[in-house]
Structures are given as structure tokens and as C-alpha cells.
Structure 1
Amino acid sequence: MIESKISRIAPKSLELVYSGEDYFSRLETIIHNSQIELHIQMYLFENDATGKRIIAAIKEAASRQVKIFILLDGLGSLSFPSDIIDELRQDGINIRFFAPLFSAYTFYLGRRLHQKVIVADAKIALIGGINIADKYCGTPTEVPWLDYAVQLNSTIAQPLQELCRNIYFKKKRVSSRKIKSIFHVQEDALVRIIQNDWLKRKNEICDGYIKSICHAKKEIIIVGSYFLPGIRIIKALNKASKNNVKIKLILSGISDLPITRRATCFLYNKLLHYNIELYEWNQSVLHGKSAVIDGYWTTIGSFNLNNLSSYGSVEMNVEINSTVFSKMYQSHLNQIIAKCEPITLESLEIKTHFFSKFINLFSYFVTRLIEILITYTPYKRFYT
């Protein structure tokens, strides 16, 4: 378990990371600077230009005798070439798939390794929602998908590395231990690594959202790709609205999953009647999963506000209690909102006709049905 892993982080030891070159140059640097042990756990790893760039860095690290462990999701990285896997293994790199889609045991579908985590030498970690692929890095003709991560340069990376090792080697028991305060500085931050893995009774991210939303006093800003929350989060948002908390949702105007976006649109009318402000990001695909509440509490990671993340996937977020960090991130999100298209009851009425309402309704129920089938259909989920 890692639910109580807490550390006080000094400035520059906690950094917001943006999708695009910012993330991938940091990742490349972390790999190049690794000396002893490197863990990469990723949902999607594509063999495109960005993937090849990271693979080259990994091979170079292996040539320096760095112990490398790569864990990829069996569905998300299904297309990762077998010849590249063979090359990596020949270079002494440990690589395997989490819950292969087809195996000798069963047919896996619902429980996925959705977290995106890199840990090097128990000293530095990169955690967020960004996968390794061109669409997250961007190209000369395409803007990168909008997403975020957090870089931690701290001893909090030590138990995180232990967790990654245990996941890679399928150890069922992970010791629970607290990390005491490391730095006491003028602008300190309380940082927690939190997980969601419903099968193993870990609901820390979902519970953290609900608790923070219910206790909000002034303002909530949520970045919600694939936004289709369960009843508990909907009720929490409604409660916060009734308490006169200003709520802003940054949602997908462009999505790689059109049916999910349509399902989200079905909720617009209800959300607007809760006095929640809606903004659609149309400059690229929105893939971010984060929130800032009251300019103090921030969460960033792989957790989507939907039932798949709540009850199906293995997720990881960084939770940060810091006025300095949260206000900085809040300022950035307000700049994003300024570039979004606001959705109001009036604009919704103009752009939504009978047929589109039917498509939204149909998409909502189909998506919910798919979530139920994937998440709850019985199969041997304990094999990973």
C-alpha cells in the first residue's frame, strides 16, 4: 500500500509538467541520468517517432548497466512490436505486459494498468496522464494533446520505486509505511501519492475528489477528459454548487472517443442547471485529468472522472496541498479557460436539435452499458 506516503517538498522538487516537449525532454533526461534502477509503467507506448526516441534513450541506459523494468498495459500497448520487445530483452531490459488481452488463463478486458509512472534511482519520479506517443508530444503540424504530469525530485520516489517493483514482480503484499517530513521550507507543500484499484480496495483518488469537492469553500476547477462521473461525484458537485462554490469544468471539444464526448454532452443540461460553468477545449484533444480547489488542493494524474477509472483500472495521482503550487496551476487553467468555448443554456439550446439530443442520449446509455460490461463482467481479474 502507498496511501500514507507523504513528504514535504522543497521548491524545485515539485514541478508541474506539460504535455509536449516539456514532458518528453524531461523523460529523456531522467532516463539518460539514471544510474542504478529505472521503472517505466505506461498504458500506451507507441512505436512512432516519439516512442523510438524514448526507446533509444532506454537502450543507452541499459548499455550503462542500469536495471530497467518496463510494464505496459496489455490492451493499451497491444500494438507494441514484438521485435522491439525482443531487442529490448536482448539488451538486458526487463519488459512485460500487465493483464495481456489474451492469455492461458482468461480473456482480460476491464482491469487495465492506466497509470503513467516513471521512477529513477529512487530519487526522481514523473507521474501524470501522459502516454508515450507522438500525439502527446506534438508534431510540426499537430498540437500535442492537452495533458499534465508532476515531477518529484524527492525521497518520496523511494517508496514509489518499491511500489513499482512490487507491481512488476506481482507481489501481492506491499508494506505500509509513512514518509516523515523531509524538508521544512518557506513555501512547503504536502504531497501524497494516491491510488485507485477497486479490486484491491483502493479508492483513494475517487474519495479524495469527493471529500475535497464537498469541503470546497470558494472555487473548483476540474479538467475532465472522458468526463462521465458516477452518482457520488455528481451529488458532490451539486452540494458544492448549493454552497455557492464556483465550479468550472474544462471538457473536451475534440475527443479521440466521439461516443464518450457525446455521452458527456448528455449531462450538460443537468450540470448547467447546477450552476456549473462549462468550457470546451477545441484547440487539440483534451486528455488531462486534474483539479484545483480553493487555490490550495491540487490533484494531477491518470484518473478520469468516470466509472472505468473508479472501478476498473489501476490509477495513480499526485495530491498536492500547497497554496503556491495550486495558485500557479489555477492561473494556468484560467488561461486555458480563456481559450475555451463557454457552454451556456442559451448556446446549448441553439446548437442542440432533436437528432443531436437523441444521439447524446443514445451515446450516454451505450457508454454506461459498456462501462458496466467491462467493469463488472466476471472473469479471473486477479491475474496480472
Structure 2
Amino acid sequence: MPYPSAARFPHNKGLHIPIPLRSPLKVIAQTMAALLLVLGLVGCKSLPRVVPDLERRPPPVRLEGSQGPLSAERSRAILERLRASGQGSDVLSRHLAVEEAVVGSPLTVGNKAVLLEDGPATYRAMLAAIEAAKDHIHLETYILDDDDIGQQFANALIAKQRQGVQVLLIHDSVGTLRTPDAFFQRLTDTGIRVLEFNPLNPALARTTWELNERDHRKLLIVDGRIAFLGGINISGVYSSGSFASGGRSGTGDGKTDDTPWRDTHIQLQGPVVAEFQKMFLDTWKTQKGEAYTERDFYPTPDLAGRHVVRAIASSPQDNYSQIYATLLSAIGSAESTVYLTNAYFAPDPQLLEALQDAAARGVDVRLILPSKTDSWLIFHAGRNYYTQLLKAGVKIYERQGVILHTKAGLIDGVWSTIGSTNLDWRSFLHNYEVNAVVLGTEFGDQLQKLFNADLAESKQITLHEWTRRGLLLRAKELFARAWEYWL
């Protein structure tokens, strides 16, 4: 969720700073934000032109294990096994050739990846890992609500801090705007170090104040050995799962209802956890968080499984979004299928072109998008592109009966990604995001089953039907598209 939802606040997403505010200083912050928008003082950035050279010879791929870089012979053996699992095609080489050029993190082997569907299963796994913590807990989240779920996590973190486990918590200022100060004060009173990312109040800024830059990551690391990431915030809206009613959510018209939320997370163990640890500690450092005690942040990793995983982070400080460039390279390398499930779809011209080109090559391109949402602006901005995509042969489905919040992709059955990144300008330009890329058919088969389950609960949008939609929907799409850069 890139912004507090319409159900949470009377405004929609973007630079609208919603109420209730917790202090007069936040009223000042709200006013300044509005002035910045009106005066156009918040600079616009542009997405880079990514042109993968898919015909060139792939450079040597870095593979790392529990003891560091693998030998060239061992690396070749692992890559050959992955290629064989891709039904004999060389698609992995094509993906990796571009990934190596744009992504700074290594491809790690010996990992265990577990797919987590919806809030209840994810919260059980996260809380179990917290309860078992022995050394440290690092939690980074966009939303941390003061509700039953939020209190469960608060109590679990406080209990571990009292046992001597060091707890560091990063929460985004906009995402937790509704969470009262008392909630975080209770945490700090027990010794937990709490860092508010990019405070809305400029007077509290520890670095250059950038209203539009938000921490949209959802990342939990326990003892440097287990990591969780994906689209699931810490909030009661996820408490019911996606096949039972309950919880508070929003509709396309900004009204609250009891529609369940559908989301996806991933649990990782093995050498790749160290890469996510680096990301967390780098954010703490750049935001000038409180000093902490050095713990065993990078224990010698165990060989937890057979999955090959790459950790990818992006931030507005990067020259380009590594997640964006990686996704474009994977779509451009696709030979058979591109399956994307995403909550917020407002594509830039290059992503549109990549999807259309893939369909033109005969690739089966399918998008599962929301039928209901917590932000009607981004909802209608994305629908504005349906005609163009449908004419190009892209298949579009809208997930029924839930608020779709998943951010996942599966390409050629061998390249999988799960994370916090939406397919919109905000995720690619303005947010701190984090994703995992998992290679091979073992995990790809799991994600395929989940994609199929969502597909079975979705309605296909046909070109014939879509071209006959009403004038009111068309007007909403045009209005929303004018704001898509800021959504």
C-alpha cells in the first residue's frame, strides 16, 4: 500500500496529507505540503530509458553461498541445473545477463523460500520468528496500526526487548500518521529504538526534507537468519484473509466496507538474508537513526535450501530503480509467459511498451489487477490503459471479492518476484522499495498455483466489453491519468 487508504483517512493517496493530525506542527506540515504541490516546487523526476542488449554474451554471473563466492565450476553447475528446469531454454541466461548489469546485489544459492498467502499466515510466521529471536530484531514497515494486530506485534517486540534482544523499528511518517504517539512511546519506553522515516514535520527532519519520498518497504529480519518481505503491512485489514469477510477496507469510491484483503509475502532463510540486512542498516544510517549496539548482524549463514535468490532494493537516491530495470529486463527476455499480479497499476510508457512488445512476440501476457481498491485515483488511472493493452493482445483480469494488494510476478515459469513494489510511478521514482527475485521452477510452480487461484476468482476484461464502458468511467480515467505521476 503506497499511501494511507481512503478508508483510513478522508483523502486519497499522494501529496494530500490527511487528518487527524497529532499536533499543530503537523498542521503546518500539511499546509506546507499543499503549497509545495500548488507552486510546483516538488521536482519531477523521470524514469531512465532501459535498453537491454539481449543478444550480447552474458557476463559471468556472480553466485554466492554460505562461505562467499562460489567457484566458476560450481556456479556453472548450478546455472545448468536452473536452465534444465526451464525446459531446455536459455531464458535464465538472458534474464541474468541484464540483471548483472543493473543490480548491485549478488545472486545467492542455498536459500529456502516459503510463499505466504494473506495476512493470517504471514503474521503467524512473523510472530513465531520474533518469539524465537535470540539476538536482534529489525522491523521496517510502511503502516503499523494501533489495532489488535499492531498491539500483538508491539507486545511481542516489547517482550523480546525485555529479554535482552535488541529491537530496531523503522516506520514511515505518512504510513503511520494515524497511529498515536503513545503507541510508539510505549515501545521506546522499554528500550526499543524507533525511527520515524522522513518526518512530515520539517523541523524534525534529520536529513534533507523530502515530502514525497516515503519508505514503502515491509521487511522483518530476525537474528540475521530469517527475513520476511512482500506487500503486507501490520494492520487489522489483513486479519481475515482473502476468503472470509472481516476487517476494514476501502472501495473504489472511497467508502469503507468489510471486503477482505488479498496479499502475498515471502519468508527467506539462507545467505540472501545478509543482503536484506544491509538494506535495513543502510536505511537506518542514512536516516540518522539512534545509535545501537553492534550485535551478530551477519552470522555465518546456514545452507537452508536449494533456492537461488537475489535481493533488490530501490530508493529515490539511486540513479534509477533497480527493481524497475530488472522487471523491464525480465519482460524483455520473456519467451513464453509474463504473469503479473499488482495492486496499483499506472504504467509509464516504457513498461507499456515492454508488455505490448512481449505480447507481439507471442508471449502470453496476463495482468491480474483489482476490481476494488483503497484508492480510486490510481484505480482509474490504470484502467485508462486497458484499451491500448487489450488491442496489443495483453490479457487483463480483475480480481473479484477482495481488495487486491499483491505485488508479484512470474515470467517463463522460472523468474519470480515478490515485494513491496507497485507498477506505478510512485514505486519506481519516489519510494523506498524492496523485492526478492527467486529463480527456478520449484518456487515458480508455487507462485503459478497462487496465480491460477487468483485467476479463477477474476473476471476477464475483453476489448469488446471495455470499449462499451460508460462516459462516467471514461471521465474518471482521464482525470486520474492527469495525476498519475503523483499517485
Same-fold status (TM-score > 0.5): yes
Partner amino acid, structure 2, of 1:225: A
Structure 2: tracts of 5 or more residues without a match: 1-101, 247-258, 289-298
Aligned to 1:73: 172
Q: Does 1:126 align with 2:228?
A: yes
Aligned to 1:364: 481
Give SS of 1:131's match.
coil
Counterparts in 2 of 1:353 and 1:171: CA distance versus 1, 3 Å: closer
Q: Which of the numbers 122, 131, 150 marks the counterpart of 1:51?
A: 150
Aligned to 1:98: 197
Aligned to 1:243: 361
Q: Which of the numbers 470, 476, 487 marks the counterpart of 1:353?
A: 470
Q: Return the alpha-carbon distance in structure 2 between the equivalents of residues 73 and 5 of structure 1.
A: 28
- Displacement of 1:363 in angstroms is 1.5
Q: Does the Cα contact within 8 Å between 2:380 and 2:477 map onto a contact in 1? A: yes
Q: Which of the numbers 382, 392, 397 marks the counterpart of 1:264?
A: 382
Aligned to 1:154: 270
- Displacement of 1:358 in angstroms is 1.6
Q: Does the Cα contact within 8 Å between 1:7 and 1:180 map onto a contact in 2? A: no
Aligned to 2:391: 273
Quick one: percent identity of the two aligned structures? 25
Q: Does 1:320 align with 2:438?
A: yes
Aligned to 1:253: 371
Q: Return the alpha-carbon distance in structure 1 between the equivalents of residues 445 and 262 of structure 2.
A: 19
Aligned to 1:5: 106
Q: Return the alpha-carbon distance in structure 2 between the equivalents of residues 20 and 180 of structure 1.
A: 30
Q: Which has the larger radius of gyration?
A: 2
Q: Return the alpha-carbon distance in structure 2 between the equivalents of residues 180 and 158 of structure 1.
A: 9
- Displacement of 1:367 in angstroms is 2.8
Aligned to 2:182: 83
Partner amino acid, structure 1, of 2:482: F
Q: CA RMSD in A?
A: 2.3
Give SS of 2:214's match.
coil
- TM-score, with length taken from structure 1: 0.88
- Displacement of 1:166 in angstroms is 2.7
Q: Does 1:307 align with 2:430?
A: no
Q: Return the alpha-carbon distance in structure 2 between the equivalents of residues 47 and 197 of structure 1.
A: 27
Aligned to 2:8: none
| Matched pairs, number | 359
Partner amino acid, structure 2, of 1:358: A
Counterparts in 2 of 1:46 and 1:347: CA distance versus 1, 3 Å: same
Q: Which of the numbers 316, 341, 346 marks the counterpart of 2:459?
A: 341
Q: Return the alpha-carbon distance in structure 2 between the equivalents of residues 163 and 107 of structure 1.
A: 21
- Displacement of 1:189 in angstroms is 2.4
Aligned to 1:291: 409
Partner amino acid, structure 1, of 2:276: L
Q: Which of the numbers 109, 112, 117 marks the counterpart of 1:18?
A: 117
Q: Does the Cα contact within 8 Å between 1:115 and 1:302 map onto a contact in 2? A: yes
- TM-score, with length taken from structure 2: 0.70
Partner amino acid, structure 1, of 2:104: E
Q: Return the alpha-carbon distance in structure 1 between the equivalents of residues 130 and 356 of structure 2.
A: 44
